[in-house]
């Protein structure tokens, strides 16, 4: 069969040139490997200091992160008719060999954070003692007063970018932590 | 014969035969018919029908109708010609009045076959399909691809806020819809509901949507349908030309500039080329009552194409790059279910926002690159062989509202999620010359894909290999009214799943199966075309359905994949009636019935997942038999010369047959009615006549939802008005096209069920768009 006007060499040239272009000069996967070194808050640690300087700590932790095992909360035991200073710490305990304290970061970005509280039973809501750079409440340091003995719950919610000027700032922003403890006042 | 001479010849013929015919006096027979495009079946306006070697001829009208009157009995060799078409010859033996329809092969269609593989069988699809042509696209310019398509019957969008829209075909989307960008399967992270197609809509000259399982030709997974995005074919005449587009939107104060420059060398090396680019910048969008904070967008796209056509072969290279940075409405970022409930109760965002072009977190940064090379070779008398190789790279980065705790200072600007996926595809297609009345093609498809999840652990790293082979045949014997089509396909997929976050998965998965389709077209000339298609297709579960593990922000849900999922199997049947007329009525109506066995969906778990961030509703990927049935139509009726009444509608009923409940997140009914007035001078049919259109879209509340499966009930129905117009002008010798569209004319406040951010905010308010198109010709190739 005749192939008039068909320059096979020209065809081959274009074929090869285009093929070479195809595999070069393009954006590549930069493949810097998985980067999963991000820190999570896995643990909320509450430290209660009574008037006599005695301290006790209680934790709420979900060491394996979201999914897997559910979080575990220790029961808080307090004395009746006492006033405590409550300090809150946020920790990353996902790697037990390298526990990281994230509290300082929350304090540094105090304007963007707010700790909200909810209480039930015999417990009253703690009174926030610390403020951010604008004088608005932060909540890492609070005062909690107990009255009669009984049981109750205490929930601690760390909000990111709340509208601190809003009527109810705890209904705004993004929840980073929501930890609920059972409390026994005796 | 050179193009120029051909053109000159046509003009001479036109003058010669104008206005209609030359007659032979004593004879009285009439020969009439239509001139249609052999592929699209659309009328070819103003073709010339002449009798060879005699001074008899006629010019067809704008609807392709021609008439030769006062003919004597006898044999005539008829020739039908049109600029840009191959001419068609036919011998008739005239014994009385007679009808003969011509089918013209458009030269540019043949060239398009070079550009878009296997175009011909697609255009003649026996399936229900709908097209947004250059004129239709013009009025949707500036919108994203998904939003532009949503005006077509049977199509809707799955939105994430006001900036992200994905096309939904008859209720199906994401991995069930395949998008072919200039003939190449668009491969990115298309599984994500908030991952919009990475395609510059200004590159498209025509978008065709094939509804239903069209997978025999394009792949095993397109059980919802196929979207074919086609750029305009490269320049045929020597010289340099192009166009400039400028557009502005009032909402978001969005500005778009898009330009195109194309040329073709004269002489012995017929090399054509095109350069194209688009720049888009928009700020915060506004609902009728407030601004949507952080909804700006930046887009920067460019592409080039080059092709060389020889008599027996042709080759084409294409490169495109898409880059966007887009803001995600900041009011949508929530931490847990309590935050979501607060947002729903608030009914609107906590603050009213303000206008800015600044983009903050959360945002997405997406980069997509495509390189394609294609060659076509005529294999003697036997047919045409086509080879296409393509490489795609997609990088998707998502930046959360706030950085991770403990980030190092230099990591502050790094994303929380980063996927990179590289895809190589190779396709071989051989289209055989018609054997008697049998047209067909067969071919093979290979794909290699490597995904790395560089940040985040939502989906694992994996490698994916697929191979497929298909064979499609069509029987047609024009003008016999029946056309038959059948196709078969086999696909094989192998996947090697590696690490996901800190966990090593190390699984190999294999899927393979057959797809098949049979279809028919029956024509009642001048009245109706009926298209019937029934097919079966399958889709292997996607990596996110198999291995997803984590919290889906913005949806406040925890999603867990199921590595034991099996493939979905779809059985799709559609019947389309299309008015084939020169009459006052135009349009089509299609009915579809789609059964999908082992349909993969997210099933809510009874218990939420408890985390240190609070409670999240949990969902597992599950499978059940589903059924999607419905109806869509698009009709236009000419009330009086120039004035048309238009009607469009999409109805869908989608059910989970095993659970005896509706499927969630399915598009509600949609009706659209409009009036279009075209300002024509003395009834002439210039396609560029100025027009005005007003339309009203009515979307009733979606009541077909499963019970207790949503955080809030579906939003109420709404009615939107839209006004648009366009006109062509000439400034001296410079043609100019001006157009405007007012979306949501009366600034209605509403929410859409298929917007994942419906819990947080309303849809955008009135938006006035002005557009200017400036086609130009630098050098028309004077010799």
Is B120 strand, coil or helix?
helix
pLDDT of residue B606: 80
What torsion, rounded to 10 degrees, do the Cα atoms B501, B505, B506, B512 define? -110
The CA distance from B273 to the nearest CA of chain A, in Å, is 15
End-to-end CA distance of chain A: 104
End-to-end CA distance of chain B: 15
Top residue of B375, B422, B553, B612 to mutate, by most chain A CBs within 10 Å, is: B612
Is B516 strand, coil or helix?
strand
The arithmetic mean of pLDDT across residues B5-10, rounded, is 48
The CA distance from B328 to the nearest CA of chain A, in Å, is 15
pLDDT of residue B777: 87
Model confidence at B251, pLDDT cuts 50, 70, 90, reads very high
Q: How many whole angstroms separate alpha carbon B556 and alpha carbon B296?
A: 23
B27: CB partners within 8 A, 6+ apart: B70, B71, B72, B73
The arithmetic mean of pLDDT across residues B443-453, rounded, is 94
Does B22 have pLDDT greater than 60? Answer: no
- Write the residue in A32, A62, A100 that is nearest to B454 by C-beta: A32
pLDDT of residue B541: 96
Q: What percent of chain B has pLDDT over 70?
A: 89
pLDDT of residue B112: 32
Residue in chain B closest to A103 (alpha carbons) equals B405
Does B144 have pLDDT greater than 60? Answer: yes
Residues of chain A positioned with their CB less than 8 A from the CB of B389 = 19, 22
| Tens digits of residue pLDDT in B574-585 | 999 999 767 889
Residues of chain A positioned with their CB less than 8 A from the CB of B340 = none
pLDDT of residue B86: 66
The CA distance from A174 to the nearest CA of chain B, in Å, is 5
Hey, are the CB atoms on B454 and A38 less than 8 Å from each other? no
Of A157-166, B90-99, B141-150, B240-249, minimum mean pLDDT range: B90-99
Hey, are the CB atoms on A10 and B351 less than 8 Å from each other? no
Q: How many whole angstroms separate alpha carbon B550 and alpha carbon A36?
A: 14
Q: Are strands B177-181 and B225-230 parallel, antiparallel or unpaired?
A: parallel
Domains of chain B with bracketed CATH: 3-105 (2.60.40.1120), 109-228 (2.170.130.10), 229-233+242-405+412-779 (2.40.170.20)
Helices (H), B250-314: none
Residues of chain A positioned with their CB less than 8 A from the CB of B114 = none
Of A142-151, B279-288, B343-352, minimum mean pLDDT range: B343-352
Look at the alpha carbons of B205, B384, B215, B370 in this order and tell me if their dihedral is positive or negative. Answer: negative
The residues pairing with B241 across neighbouring beta strands, listed in sequence order, are B262, B777
Task: Return left, alpha or beta for B145; rule: phi > 0 is left, psi -120 to 50 is alpha, else beta.
Answer: alpha
Task: Return left, alpha or beta for A10; rule: phi > 0 is left, psi -120 to 50 is alpha, else beta.
Answer: alpha
Please determine, looking at this structure, whether the domain spanning A43-185 carries the CATH number 2.70.50.
yes
Residues of chain A positioned with their CB less than 8 A from the CB of B499 = 34
Hey, are the CB atoms on A21 and B452 less than 8 Å from each other? no
The arithmetic mean of pLDDT across residues B560-569, rounded, is 94
Q: Which of B499, B567, B576, B481 is nearest to B532 (CA)?
A: B576
Q: Are A152 and A181 in contact (CB under 8 A)?
A: no
Question: Token match 């709404």: residue?
Answer: B718
Q: Are strands B98-99 and B29-37 parallel, antiparallel or unpaired?
A: parallel
Chain mean pLDDT for chain B? 86
The arithmetic mean of pLDDT across residues B112-116, rounded, is 31
Hey, are the CB atoms on A66 and B558 less than 8 Å from each other? yes
ipTM: 0.78
Q: Are A117 and A138 in contact (CB under 8 A)?
A: no
Does B300 have pLDDT greater than 70? Answer: yes
| Tens digits of residue pLDDT in B52-102 | 767 778 888 877 888 887 787 777 888 887 776 667 777 777 777 777 788
pLDDT of residue B198: 95
Hey, are the CB atoms on B371 and A21 less than 8 Å from each other? yes
Hey, are the CB atoms on A71 and B454 less than 8 Å from each other? no
Look at the alpha carbons of B173, B176, B180, B184 in this order and tell me if their dihedral is positive or negative. Answer: positive
Model confidence at B213, pLDDT cuts 50, 70, 90, reads confident
CA neighbours within 13 Å on the CB side: how many for B576? 29
pLDDT of residue B779: 64
Residues of chain A positioned with their CB less than 8 A from the CB of B551 = 66
Hey, are the CB atoms on A21 and B499 less than 8 Å from each other? no
Does B14 have pLDDT greater than 50? Answer: no
Helices (H), B127-231: 134-138, 145-149, 215-218
Hey, are the CB atoms on B315 and A179 less than 8 Å from each other? no
The pLDDT profile of chain A, 186 residues, written as one tens digit per residue, is 344 444 556 666 666 666 655 554 456 666 554 444 456 789 999 999 999 999 999 999 998 877 778 899 999 999 999 999 999 999 988 888 888 899 998 998 899 899 999 999 999 999 999 999 999 999 999 999 999 999 999 999 999 888 898 888 998 888 889 999 999 999
Q: Are B519 and B532 in contact (CB under 8 A)?
A: yes
Quote the tokens at residue B655: 């059910």
pLDDT of residue B155: 95
Hey, are the CB atoms on A160 and B401 less than 8 Å from each other? yes
Hey, are the CB atoms on A62 and B612 less than 8 Å from each other? yes
> For residue B21, how many other CB atoms are within 10 A of its CB?
19
């Amino acid at each position: 069969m005749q192939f008039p006007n068909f320059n096979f060499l020209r065809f081959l040239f274009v074929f090869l040139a285009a093929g070479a272009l195809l595999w070069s000069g393009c954006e590549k996967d930069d493949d810097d490997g998985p980067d999963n070194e991000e820190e999570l808050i896995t643990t909320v640690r509450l430290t209660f200091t009574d008037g006599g300087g005695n301290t006790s700590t209680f934790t709420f932790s979900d060491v394996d992160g979201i999914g897997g095992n559910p979080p575990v909360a220790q029961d808080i035991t307090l004395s009746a008719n006492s006033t405590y200073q409550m300090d809150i710490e946020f920790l990353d305990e996902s790697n037990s060999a390298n526990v990281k304290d994230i509290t300082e970061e929350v304090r540094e970005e105090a304007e963007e954070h707010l700790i909200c509280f909810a209480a039930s039973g015999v417990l009253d809501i703690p009174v926030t003692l610390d403020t951010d750079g604008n004088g608005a409440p932060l909540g890492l340091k609070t005062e909690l007063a107990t009255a009669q003995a009984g049981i109750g719950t205490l929930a601690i919610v760390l909000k990111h970018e709340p509208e601190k000027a809003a009527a109810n700032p705890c209904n705004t922003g993004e929840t980073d932590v929501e930890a609920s403890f059972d409390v026994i006042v005796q | 014969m050179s193009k120029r001479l051909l053109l000159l010849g046509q003009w001479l013929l036109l003058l010669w035969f104008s206005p209609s015919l030359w007659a032979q006096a004593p004879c009285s027979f009439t020969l009439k018919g239509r001139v249609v495009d052999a592929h699209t079946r659309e009328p070819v306006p103003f073709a010339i029908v002449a009798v060879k070697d005699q001074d008899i001829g006629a010019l067809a009208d704008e609807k392709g109708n021609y008439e030769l009157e006062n003919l004597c009995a006898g044999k005539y060799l008829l020739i039908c010609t049109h600029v840009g078409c191959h001419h068609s010859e036919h011998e008739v033996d005239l014994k009385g009045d007679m009808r003969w329809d011509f089918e013209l092969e458009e030269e540019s269609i043949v060239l398009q076959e070079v550009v878009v593989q296997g175009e011909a069988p697609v255009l003649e699809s026996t399936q229900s399909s709908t097209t947004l042509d250059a004129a239709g696209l013009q009025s949707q310019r500036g919108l994203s691809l998904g939003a532009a398509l949503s005006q077509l019957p049977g199509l809707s969008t799955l939105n994430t806020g006001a900036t992200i829209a994905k096309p939904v075909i008859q209720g199906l989307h994401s991995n069930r819809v395949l998008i072919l960008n200039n003939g190449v399967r668009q491969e990115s992270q298309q599984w994500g509901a908030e991952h919009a197609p990475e395609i510059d809509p200004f590159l498209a000259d025509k978008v065709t949507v094939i509804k239903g399982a069209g997978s025999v030709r394009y792949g095993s997974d397109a059980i919802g349908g196929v979207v074919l995005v086609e750029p305009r074919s490269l320049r045929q005449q020597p010289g340099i030309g192009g166009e400039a587009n400028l557009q502005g939107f009032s909402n978001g104060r969005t500005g778009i500039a898009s330009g195109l420059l194309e040329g073709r060398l004269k002489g012995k090396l017929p090399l054509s080329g095109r350069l194209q680019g688009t720049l888009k910048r928009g700020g915060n969008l506004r609902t009728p009552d407030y601004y949507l904070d952080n909804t700006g967008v930046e887009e920067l796209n460019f592409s080039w194409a080059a092709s060389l056509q020889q008599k027996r072969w042709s080759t084409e290279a294409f490169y495109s790059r898409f880059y966007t940075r887009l803001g995600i409405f900041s009011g949508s970022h929530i931490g847990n279910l309590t935050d979501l409930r607060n947002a729903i109760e608030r009914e609107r965002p906590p603050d009213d926002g303000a206008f800015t072009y600044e983009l903050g977190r959360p945002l997405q940064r997406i980069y997509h690159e495509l390189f394609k090379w294609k060659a076509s070779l005529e294999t003697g008398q036997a047919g045409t062989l086509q080879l296409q190789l393509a490489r795609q790279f997609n990088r998707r980065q998502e930046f959360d509202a706030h950085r991770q705790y403990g980030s190092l200072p230099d990591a502050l600007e790094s994303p929380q999620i980063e996927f990179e996926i590289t895809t190589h595809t190779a396709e071989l297609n051989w289209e055989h010359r018609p054997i008697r009345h049998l047209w067909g093609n067969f071919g093979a498809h290979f794909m290699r894909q490597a995904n790395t999840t560089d940040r985040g652990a939502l989906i694992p790293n994996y490698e994916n290999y697929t191979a497929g082979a298909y064979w499609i045949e069509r029987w047609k014997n024009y003008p016999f009214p029946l056309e038959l089509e059948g196709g078969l396909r086999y696909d094989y997929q192998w996947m090697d799943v590696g690490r996901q976050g800190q966990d090593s998965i190390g699984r190999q998965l294999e899927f393979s199966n057959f797809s098949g389709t049979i279809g028919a077209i029956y024509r009642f000339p001048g009245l109706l075309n009926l298209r019937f298609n029934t097919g079966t297709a399958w889709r292997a579960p996607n990596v996110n359905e198999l291995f997803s593990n984590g919290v889906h922000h913005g949806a406040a849900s925890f999603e867990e994949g199921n590595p034991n999922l099996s493939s979905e199997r779809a059985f799709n049947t559609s019947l389309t009636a299309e008015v084939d007329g020169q009459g006052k009525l135009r349009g089509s109506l299609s009915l579809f019935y789609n059964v999908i066995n082992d349909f993969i969906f997210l099933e809510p778990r009874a218990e939420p997942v408890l985390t240190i961030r609070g409670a999240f509703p949990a969902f597992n990927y599950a499978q059940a038999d589903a059924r999607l049935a419905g109806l869509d139509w698009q009709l236009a009726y000419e009330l009086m010369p120039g004035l048309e009444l238009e009607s469009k509608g999409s109805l869908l009923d989608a059910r989970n047959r095993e659970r005896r409940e509706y499927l969630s997140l399915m598009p509600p009914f949609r009706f659209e009615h409009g009036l279009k007035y075209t300002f024509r001078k003395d009834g002439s049919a210039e396609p560029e006549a100025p027009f005005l259109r007003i339309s009203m879209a009515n979307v009733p509340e979606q009541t077909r939802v499963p019970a207790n499966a949503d955080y809030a009930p579906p939003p109420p129905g709404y009615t939107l008005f839209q006004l648009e117009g366009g006109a062509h002008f000439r400034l001296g010798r410079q043609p100019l096209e001006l157009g405007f569209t007012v979306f949501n004319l009366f600034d209605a406040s509403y929410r859409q069920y298929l917007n994942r951010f419906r819990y947080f905010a309303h849809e955008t308010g009135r938006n006035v768009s002005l557009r200017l198109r400036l086609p130009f010709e630098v050098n028309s190739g004077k010799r």
